[in-house]
Amino acid sequence: MSNRTVITFGTFDVLHVGHVRVLKRAAALGDRLVVGVSADALNLKKKNRAPVFTQDERMEIVGALAVVDEVFVEESLELKRDYIEKYAADVLVMGDDWKGKFDFVSDLCEVVYLPRTPSVSTTGLIEHIAGSA
């Protein structure tokens, strides 16, 4: 019996079709999809602005998707190996904007980079909405 666990990570703020598609494609690579939703503090540090939705709201939204089996808060970008082990992941999926950057975990699990959906991003959406206000 195969029971492949897929893990992926992201902010998933202001959920859009690019997010849904990557999660669907990630889920199709295994039997169980676990999603690490990045902590508010991580986003603040990286982007200098808080996400529109809090980490609890983002986890609730992502966790409500039919293809997602489990969500957790990604507290640190440095803990990928620990999360892969904790959730017994067989496959790590990342967008191809990260191509090559996670090959260092390939001793623990398979690493798959999926192409991003063109022309949509949370940053672009926020700018679009702010510009039309």
* Binding positions for ligand CTP, rule: CB under 6 A: 10-12, 18-19, 22, 94-95, 97, 116-117, 120-123
Tokens of 39: 């902590």
**Residue number with CB closer to ligand CTP (94 or 109):** 94
Of the two residues 79 and 124, which places its CB atom closer to ligand CTP in the complex?
124
For residues 131 and 109, what is the distance between their CA atoms, to the nearest angstrom?
42
Give the nearest distance from C-beta 125 to ligand CTP in angstroms.
8
CB of 118 to ligand CTP, least distance (A): 7
Nearer to ligand CTP, 14 or 90 (CB): 14
What distances in angstroms separate CA 45 from CA 10, 48, 59, 76, 125, one per listed residue? 15, 6, 19, 11, 21
Burial zone of 84 (CB within 10 Å; 0-12 exposed, 13-18 middle, 19+ buried)? buried
3-state secondary structure of 10: strand
CA distances from 61 to 53, 64, 65 (A): 10, 5, 7
**Among residues 2 and 75, whose Cβ is nearest to ligand CTP?**
75
Minimum CB separation of residue 81 from ligand CTP in Å reads 18
State in angstroms the smallest separation of the CB of 18 from ligand CTP.
Answer: 3
